[in-house]
Amino acid sequence: MRFKLSSREIFGLSNVRASSNSFNCNRALRAKRYSSLPFTPLNDDHQASSNRLVNVCSTDSLPKSQVLTLSTIRKLYEDKVPITMLTAHDFSTARMVGMSASSSISNNQAESSLTDRHLAGIDICLVGDSLAMVSLGYSSTTELGFDEFSSHVQAVRRGLDSLKHEKFHRIPILVADLPFGSYEASLEQGVRSAIELSKRARVDGFKIEGGPEIVPLIRRLTSFGMSVFGHIGLTPQRASSLGGFKVQGHDSSSKARQIISDALLLQDSGCVALVLEAIPTEVVHQITTRLSIPTIGIGAGPSTDGQVLVLNDLIGALDSETPKFVPKFEVPRNSNKMSLSSAKASWKLGMDIVNEYVYQVRTRQFPVMGQHTYKMKPQVLKELDEKGWI
């Protein structure tokens, strides 16, 4: 498969050749403790003994990191390059998500191709309220408080910011959920919550679950210049009313039509993209072909414009059972480079899995039909084909 987007456009790099001094400098950077805060040494001795990342050595000679924008996401969509999205919940996981682009690029490569393994990295870093369950141990996402969630969004922002001080990272945009209880009471509450997250963590966009009931909030936020990602299908904040964490729209023609109708309505309301969760591939195809904004799927099949997963599920950070749409990548361990006693063994393995995810999404090898997808009941599909989808 040949993509329209060149590697220079994807990475935003004019030259990724690094001198030996730059390479040694980067090794020094990695040896220091990370911080996203600026550092001004009190004197030469203070600077020499600093454990801060910044000012360990000059980074003027290193290729600058590229900070992605929503325009980058739009260009990927227009050029039909599958969009990659992954969650992060703290400083370290934000760095893992943000480092996925450069971890496989050697210092000698002046030109790269998307057909090469593991290139291009994560486009969107999502701080989802799923962290309530996978990171904090709550039984549902609805138990997560706004201030508690906000602290995680801020930590992720610091993690992404810390990458700006290093060489040629491709830093994803930051999108945050509006957690349960932060927007339902009134339109004003939703606006205040979004503004507060914007001020605290400089988020690039918000993901909001729901259909027609959230349209007024979407329109208000977009009128202020804020970007909104819609989220339909299985919406975890409403899981109890949906019968649990189950596929949506597979057993009823009216439910399938409602999902399609919601997608069109959210686009018309100003959403810049839609997350489609646990929806049959037949319904997803109908949505994607009708919309002019990106669709990003989780358990929604290969016909979406991108994919998103929860990082903890992807790298196997928990011993609990994962949903069927989570891939089980075979990532070999090189005993010459990493052993079980290595202090960075888990980090290295996690990065390998993230890079494999990026590669398989970009090359459309993931998700696999039948393995990571849901189907409609035959009689429901027949009815929709005969009587119409909308």
**Pairs from 298-301 (Cβ < 8 Å, separation ≥ 24):** 298/325, 299/234, 299/247, 299/323, 299/324, 299/325, 299/372, 299/373, 299/374, 300/233, 300/276, 300/325, 300/373, 301/367, 301/369, 301/372, 301/373, 301/374
**Pairs from 17-22 (Cβ < 8 Å, separation ≥ 24):** 17/107, 17/108, 17/109, 17/110, 18/61, 18/62, 18/63, 18/107, 18/167, 19/61, 21/61, 22/61, 22/62, 22/107, 22/167
Q: Can the peptide bond before residue 236 be classed as cis, meaning omega within 30 degrees of 0?
A: no
CB 168, CB 102: distance < 8 Å: yes
Q: Is 184 a catalytic residue?
A: no
The single residue of 209, 277, 282, 356 carrying the catalytic annotation is: 277
Any idea which residues carry the catalytic annotation?
277
